[in-house]
Chains A and B, each alone.
Chain A
């Protein structure tokens, strides 16, 4: 199986979908050159400037125009540049894209994909580093996916583009250069299907995006202590594979939830309730959560490191639930 990095896997997905369907186009700031993460690099050469559209710094117009195009026959893939900037287009995402189909009684469909480069790292500071997926999980009308591997990134982005509804794909910028095997054949990853990244028997770690890799590293360490960790990646948060998560919990009876975003009001809090509702009688210990602190991401390296949950936090959390 070929090995690609996460960013190249996304690039491949875009290329495949743009070749398959002439209605698909990309729009965003600096996407012709693929700045800053290289995901759209080279697409303009193959598909031309009308389908790989560099936009002015106008987030509301980028996202709004993509919706206008989507409801009248095109299939836009919007690059948000950095997910933090989505606040400049929050009306378009939260009020227009998410609500129109519903408010208009199903008359209007909005097949739009919003690529959300996000996450902590490299002292990028408070306007380029936050994990904001929880904002969107709370908005009815949006589907939200969050890949952790190159293969999932390609498969989920392709599914998102083909989905008739608006889908947000959260691409952790710390994963762009992480490599992994990607199937030669075109593969779609369905929304709402969790994936067991590592089977185990003593504890289920439910982790998203960068925290999946951290959790796998933690599982390696814990294996040395005789603790068998199952790492489950939901891959999409809306829709959520409740049954897939519950099946793992029924096997292990212990749960750690690991995410990068702030602890308060987070996706992990929602997942904990989902598990509690589905498997309360199966739980042998209270659910333990690993998440970021409730602060904007700071700049200075030691401060940023403090705000970054990692494998060591997962190790501590697992030890707490199995003791």
Chain B
């Protein structure tokens, strides 16, 4: 988990620099500060488990084991990107590791995941489907429809609310009635848990028990991981709606510093080992950037590919 979090942090820091340098088009939404959620959610998952994510999904892709090269090349809009340049930052997917997509429309994963759960149930495997969404997204109707359906069908789904207390530029208190997202689970008769989303081990433990429950056929769970978004909503967001003190306070809760301290205290990590991990991550990220830089752009007419599997006759 430590290496995963570091990989996410470094990849996004590099993406930030490259975006500022004009190498990456479009918009990017960084998850810096939220790495413990991605790492903790994905650690108990197998490669063949499924994950739906949000527009802030870089970390989830990396934690699920998605290719760093495919990730970085996709941010660049290159032909070698995981979506061949058709998706970009907000629509990353890597089906080979069960990462079924970041989503530009918030909450959509909440209705897709119960269907994946149904497919798991009908195919008779012990896979699990997970959907991660933000606190803002939990106020859209599909959240309620999806949780109700999953609870009704008792399908192996874990709903994870990555609550960073900001829906774009709107504060949690101004958008979310009742205060607690996890408490909504009670309305659907499923377990709901609130965890410190900046504590990777806490997220991991909550997730581990939700996944075990799902695999055992006991149905869905809802986890609310409360975390801090260090950066703006998108890169370039001046964050006039947010106090400097809040951002600084958030940085005091850096999940990577915290996990490192914990590992050092438990004698599981020393300075030399940490340096080796950091160097390895740095090399991986550099390799991904080099790959993206040297990859070709797609041919313009490739825009017409991939709409359908099979297209009989003309249109």
Q: Which residues of A contact B (CB under 8 A)?
A: 25, 50, 55-56, 58, 60-61, 63-74, 76, 91-92, 95-96, 100-109, 140-141, 143, 163-165, 190-193, 238-243
Contacts and interface: CB of A to CB of B under 8 A. Distances in A.
Contacts of B123: 73-74
A143 B105 CA distance: 22
Contact of A68 (B84, B103, B116): B116
A67 B149 CA distance: 14
Interface residues of B, number: 51
Given A50-B122, A58-B149, A107-B94, 18 more contacts: A60-B141, A63-B111, A64-B111, A65-B111, A66-B115, A68-B114, A69-B116, A69-B119, A71-B100, A72-B120, A73-B123, A95-B108, A96-B112, A101-B307, A104-B83, A190-B312, A239-B312, A240-B315
A225 B226 CA distance: 77
B116 A105 contact: no
A102 B105 CA distance: 16
Given A58-B148, A61-B148, A101-B308, A106 B84 contact: yes
Contacts of B139: none
A105 B111 contact: no
Interface string B233-273: 00000000000000000000000000000000000000000
B146 A64 contact: yes
B64 interface: no
Contacts of B87: 103-105
A72 B120 CA distance: 8
Nearest to A22: B122
B301 interface: no
A92 B108 CA distance: 7
B142 interface: yes
A65 B114 contact: yes
A243 B105 contact: no
B156 to A, nearest CB: 12
Contacts of B67: none
B86 A143 contact: no
Given A50-B122, A68-B119, A240-B315, A104 B307 contact: no
Nearest to A72: B119
B60 interface: no
Interface in B92-121: 93-96, 100-101, 103-105, 108, 110-120
A238 to B, nearest CB: 6
A275 to B, nearest CB: 14
15 contacts: A61-B111, A61-B149, A64-B146, A65-B114, A68-B129, A72-B116, A74-B122, A96-B108, A103-B86, A104-B93, A105-B84, A105-B87, A106-B305, A191-B312, A239-B315
Closest 10 A/B residue pairs (Cβ): A64-B111, A68-B115, A65-B115, A192-B313, A105-B84, A61-B145, A105-B83, A106-B306, A164-B309, A104-B93
Nearest to B146: A61
Given A72-B50, A72-B119, A74-B119, A165 B309 contact: yes
Nearest to A91: B105
Nearest to A106: B306
B83 A107 contact: yes
Contacts of B111: 60-61, 63-65, 68, 92
A181 to B, nearest CB: 25
Most buried by B among A61, A140, A193, A238: A61
Contacts of B101: 100, 103-104, 108
Contacts of B309: 101, 109, 164-165
B276 interface: no
B191 to A, nearest CB: 20
Contacts of B314: 192, 239-243
A18 B116 CA distance: 20
Contacts of A239: 311-315
A100 to B, nearest CB: 6
B82 interface: yes
A95 B112 contact: no
Contacts of A140: 307
Given A103-B83, A106-B305, A64 B105 contact: no
Contacts of A242: 314-315
A49 to B, nearest CB: 11
Nearest to A89: B111
Given A61-B146, A65-B112, A163 B315 contact: no
B220 interface: no
Contact of A67 (B50, B115, B313): B115
A108 B315 contact: no
B81 interface: yes
Most buried by B among A71, A92, A141, A163: A71
A73 B121 CA distance: 11
B85 interface: yes
Nearest to B113: A68
B274 interface: no
B280 interface: no
B120 A141 contact: no
A25 B65 CA distance: 32
Contacts of B283: none
B268 to A, nearest CB: 36
A312 to B, nearest CB: 33
